[in-house]
């Protein structure tokens, strides 16, 4: 069995691909580049591909199908960068990855604390030896009511962590998780908007929740609400977010993901002119923290993601159920 790995990172993934390749009897080929029509031929002779958050659209899928690719495994929880409808029609399986939820939950709590303690401005001032206090007074987390939208593994863990800070926690999800009810009270989305001074998002991106945070929903939130997003950028309408910040309706935002981040995050773009006006505007606000999709990034999660990707091919070849299969 052979798997070809795109967007391979020698500095952190190599040892894991080597170890899990040996464990599951899979030969690994790789390139550091993302999949494109020009380099698709590199995967010839492979049964599966492993990719990251780069667009895999229908034309590219057709190329891979002609080469005999039967599985595309993304080393991410989200899989909205893959045209799953086209993959299904072409007979290509798609699977994602899972990793310990603590890594993103930890990061989410960190972003909350940084946002309400105005840490971005504090650090900026410290860099230029401005040690004054005016304008950087923060608040304590226990004084906030936090709304968690999406209570899968990560959202559930965030609720558990928040319980230790003594703040009131509400949760919203079509499926109420019994474990989460130990730490949070379930309500509907309207209840989250009405009651919560901090709102954090923890769900996959779907057609139904695209831009769920928009001009209209922001208008129904509390004055000075703090928005946290470590899930998917397109859950938030960026222009509506910017308007809310400019008008003071949104008191702060901490974003590990943004819309249209493909071909930007995880690349060295320091000498490039980024075609991302909204990102430039967001980074200019003193009350907005933007990090480059890093919430997952720990040693344990990298190992988990690589193993999920490699094991998916092994399971398919063995005819065994693949818990990460989405198509």
Mean pLDDT of 134-149: 98
Q: What value does the mean pLDDT of the chain take?
A: 97
pLDDT-derived band at 25, boundaries 50, 70, 90: very high
Q: Residue 93 forms beta bridges with which residues?
A: 71
3-state secondary structure string, 285-313?
Answer: CCCEEECCCCCCCCHHHHHHHHHHHHHHH
Residue pLDDT, tens place only, 155-189: 999 999 999 999 999 999 999 999 999 999 999 99
- pLDDT the model gives residue 267: 85
Residue pLDDT, tens place only, 46-72: 999 999 988 999 999 999 999 999 999
Q: What percent of the chain is modeled with pLDDT above 90?
A: 96
Token pair belonging to 191? 């209840």
- Name the one residue in this structure whose structure tokens are 């072409």: 90
Mean pLDDT of 10-26: 98
Whether 137 has a pLDDT exceeding 90, the answer reads yes
Mean pLDDT of 230-235: 97
pLDDT-derived band at 84, boundaries 50, 70, 90: very high
Residue pLDDT, tens place only, 274-303: 999 999 999 999 999 999 999 999 999 999
∠ at Cα 186 (183, 188), nearest 5°?
150
What's the order of all strands across the beta sheet hosting 168-172? 185-186, 168-172, 145-149, 198-201, 225-229, 250-255, 288-290
Q: What are phi and psi of 2, to 5 degrees?
A: -135, 135
pLDDT-derived band at 12, boundaries 50, 70, 90: very high
- pLDDT the model gives residue 263: 79
SS3 for 95? Answer: strand
- pLDDT the model gives residue 266: 87
pLDDT-derived band at 78, boundaries 50, 70, 90: confident
Whether 154 has a pLDDT exceeding 90, the answer reads yes
Whether 307 has a pLDDT exceeding 90, the answer reads yes
Which residues carry out catalysis?
A: 232, 261, 293
Nearest in space to 26 (alpha carbons), one of 47, 10, 40:
47
Q: What is the DSSP string of 46-84?
A: -SEEEE-SS-B-HHHHHHHHHTT--EEEESSS--TTB-H
* C-alpha–C-alpha distance, residues 190 and 180, integer Å: 19
Mean pLDDT of 81-102: 97
Token pair belonging to 5? 């790995």
∠ at Cα 309 (76, 89), nearest 5°?
80
Domains of the chain: 2-99+298-318 (3.40.50.720), 102-290 (3.40.50.720)
Whether 262 has a pLDDT exceeding 90, the answer reads no
- Name the one residue in this structure whose structure tokens are 């950028």: 233
């Amino acid at each position: 069995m052979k798997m070809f790995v795109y967007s391979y990172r020698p500095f952190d993934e190599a040892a894991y691909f080597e170890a899990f390749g040996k464990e599951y009897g899979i030969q690994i080929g790789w390139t550091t580049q993302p999949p494109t029509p020009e380099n698709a031929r590199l995967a010839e002779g492979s049964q599966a591909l492993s990719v990251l958050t780069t667009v895999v659209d229908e034309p590219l899928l057709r190329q891979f199908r002609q080469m005999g690719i039967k599985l595309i495994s993304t080393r991410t929880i989200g899989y909205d960068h893959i045209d799953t409808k086209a993959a299904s029609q072409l007979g290509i399986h798609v699977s994602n990855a899972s990793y310990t939820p603590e890594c993103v939950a930890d990061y989410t709590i960190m972003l909350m604390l940084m946002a309400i303690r105005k840490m971005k401005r504090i650090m900026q001032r410290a860099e230029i030896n401005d040690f004054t206090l005016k304008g950087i007074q923060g608040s304590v987390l226990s004084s906030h009511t936090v709304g968690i939208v999406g209570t899968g593994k990560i959202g559930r863990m965030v609720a558990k962590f928040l319980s230790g800070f003594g703040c009131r926690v509400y949760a919203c999800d079509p499926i109420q998780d019994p474990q989460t009810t130990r730490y949070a009270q379930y309500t509907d989305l309207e209840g989250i908007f009405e009651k919560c001074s901090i709102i954090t998002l923890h769900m996959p991106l779907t057609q139904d929740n695209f831009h769920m945070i928009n001009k209209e929903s922001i208008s129904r939130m509390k004055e000075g609400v703090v928005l946290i997003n470590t899930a998917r950028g397109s859950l938030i309408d960026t222009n509506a977010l910017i308007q809310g910040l400019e008008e003071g309706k949104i008191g702060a935002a901490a974003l590990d993901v943004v819309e249209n981040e493909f071909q930007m995050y995880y690349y060295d773009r320091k000498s490039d002119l980024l075609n991302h006006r909204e990102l430039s505007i967001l980074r200019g606000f003193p009350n907005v923290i933007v990090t480059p999709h890093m919430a997952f990034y720990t040693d344990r999660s990298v190992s988990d993601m690589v193993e999920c990707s490699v094991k998916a091919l092994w399971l398919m070849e063995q005819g065994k159920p693949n818990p990460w299969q989405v198509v």
